[in-house]
A and B are shown apart, each in its own frame.
Chain A
Amino acid sequence: MLKDKLNAVLKIDRRWIFLALAVVLFGAIMHPLGLISNKISRDTQSAYDFMNKLPAGSFVILSLDYDPATSPELNPQAMAVARHAFSKDLRVGVVTYAAGATALIEKVFSVVPGEFKKEYGRDYVIFPYQPNAVAALTQMASDIYGIYDKDKDGKDARSLPVMKEIKNYKNVSLVVCIAGTSMPDAWVAYAGDKYGVPVIAGVTAISQPGYGPYLQKKQLKGLLGGMKGAAEYEYLIKTPGEGTSGMDALSLAHVMVAALIIVSNIAIVILKYL
């Protein structure tokens, strides 16, 4: 009898699992629990500290290379980093090598600069999408305007106040690459290692373990991992956003996965000795 029941548990129709997950996620989104991580991870803290130490007026390249598929994890990171940069009066140049990112970038920068009374052209600039990342990254080492002579609206980039005295990587204080692709690897290889430009990355949670070697050798000055990284950064800049609110749903979904795995394994062990 028990054996049959346990077998039924193991062979449960997966649509019930889908339904359970949907209920858990929906519940957490509709009624946030306000769960907050009790410790900021070392890599997020390093990223925050590095940017926080930059003097006002420093030029930061924000490479936003994610599309709508990964935006729930990466958009909150981009918002938090942009907020931090503007709060520190840093100049921001936005680039992208992901075609699907352009509209997401415009969405971020239609909200964040206004919160800090920042003006397009004076405090930040958005460059158009470039399909060939390696060529663009190599070109920027000698002359940024060789690849970005115009901004997204076709204005002469050299004439923009935000680009004053910016010619190549020597004038760039930091690159923050938030990507659902392998763009952080390219920034490390072509800008960080070769020209000594500090690089910070923001990646999806699933990609996070792969960047350990770069962090260990300080090729990356910090790393934001998934929605947790976004939530931690939001906590550090004291501006809760989508990352913080998304952590509830993520928490419950994670615990549900853990519980399901444990239940299925307990059932197997019992079956083995029945």
Chain B
Amino acid sequence: MKLIKKYIPLAIVFVFGILTLLTYYVPHKHSVNFLEAMNKWENIVSAFAFFLGLISLFYSHYAKISRKADGWGYSIFVYIGFLAIAVPAYVSHGKNMNGSSLTWLGWAFQYIYNPLSATMFAVLAFYIVSTAYKSFRIKSLQAFVLFVAAMVLILGNVPLGQMIWEKLFGWTSCAISDIVDWILHVPAVAGKRGIMIGIAIGAVVTALKIIFGIERQYLGKD
């Protein structure tokens, strides 16, 4: 049992991990063919993962409804939302347009998904504004630096802000767009690059740990 549950999966991960890694450095026909085969496998496995995710989502919301847990009413909308898109998609064979007219799927997308999704995102703007007012307080030197950078970016990113800057600080002959460019290309890049390098090193280490069987959480508890 240990062979099937532990050693064979570890061996598969090791062999395919090493081979896929090598394809990056070996520009040979066999290497390319192998990578193409792996891509197809990856797509198939992704489709199964998607299907499993869907089942898991439905199951967890079904449990919530049957237990009458807090907010169970919202869980019903998971099914309604799914059916509102999935049924038209099936009927319309996945096509949004039929010539110049909308199919059922196109209609569902344009008049259900589109406004709901846009509304959710737009509501964020209102929360950001009220939170900025209530929380953006200069209580330390760091907060002051953040405040100055935020002000410059807020004003420098829109024409009205640029006009205000010119009225107030035009005498300095320092354009706010130049300051914005500097912030985005110097301090922001330095910070972002540090984060990116850290993430990349972490990803490489984790990948190697998985390939060499040191990290085995993906195998489950057994």
Contact = CB atoms under 8 A, between A and B. Distances in A.
User: For chain B, what secondary structure do more than half of its interface residues adopt (helix, strand, loop), or is it mixed?
Assistant: helix
Interface in A1-60: 10, 12, 14, 17-18, 21-22, 33, 35-39, 41-42
A186 interface: no
B137 A17 contact: no
A195 B164 CA distance: 45
Contacts of A37: 158-159, 162, 177
Given A18-B130, A103-B110, A69 B121 contact: yes
A177 to B, nearest CB: 18
B193 interface: yes
Interface residues of B, number: 64
A273 to B, nearest CB: 14
Given A71-B118, A103-B109, A110-B100, A36 B159 contact: yes
A270 interface: no
B97 interface: yes
Nearest to B124: A69
Contacts of B126: 17-18, 21-22
Nearest to B128: A257
B97 A110 contact: yes
B151 interface: yes
A131 B137 contact: no
Interface in B161-212: 161-164, 166, 175, 177, 180-181, 184-185, 188-189, 192-193, 196
A36 to B, nearest CB: 6
Contacts of A14: 130, 133-134
B60 interface: no
A254 B154 contact: yes
A213 B189 contact: yes
A44 to B, nearest CB: 11
B39 A252 contact: no
A171 interface: no
Given A215-B185, A264-B136, A257 B46 contact: no
Interface in A243-265: 247, 250-258, 260-265
Interface in B70-125: 95-97, 100, 105-106, 109-110, 113-115, 117-118, 120-122, 125
A131 B157 CA distance: 34
Given A68-B117, A100-B117, A131-B47, A265 B136 contact: yes
B16 interface: no
A108 B156 CA distance: 30
Contacts of B192: 209-210, 212-213
A5 B114 CA distance: 43
B129 A132 contact: no
Contact of B189 (A18, A212, A265): A212
A131 to B, nearest CB: 6
Nearest to B175: A39
Contacts of B185: 212, 215-216
Contacts of A146: 36, 39
Contacts of B106: 103, 106
B50 interface: yes
Given A69-B120, A71-B118, A250 B50 contact: no
A260 B184 contact: no
Contact of B158 (A132, A210, A212, A250): A250
A237 interface: no
A134 B24 CA distance: 13
Contacts of B193: 212-213
B69 interface: no
B217 interface: no
Contacts of B162: 37-39
A251 B137 contact: no
A138 to B, nearest CB: 6
Interface in A98-151: 100, 102-103, 106, 110, 130-132, 134-136, 138-139, 142-143, 146-147
17 contacts: A33-B160, A37-B162, A39-B177, A70-B121, A72-B122, A103-B110, A130-B43, A131-B50, A138-B39, A139-B35, A252-B160, A254-B154, A254-B155, A255-B154, A257-B132, A260-B132, A264-B134
Interface of A: 10, 12, 14, 17-18, 21-22, 33, 35-39, 41-42, 67-72, 100, 102-103, 106, 110, 130-132, 134-136, 138-139, 142-143, 146-147, 152-153, 194, 205, 208-210, 212-213, 215-216, 226, 228, 247, 250-258, 260-265, 268
Which 7 pairs of residues, A with B, have the shortest CB-CB distance? A251-B160, A212-B189, A69-B121, A35-B159, A14-B130, A251-B158, A68-B117
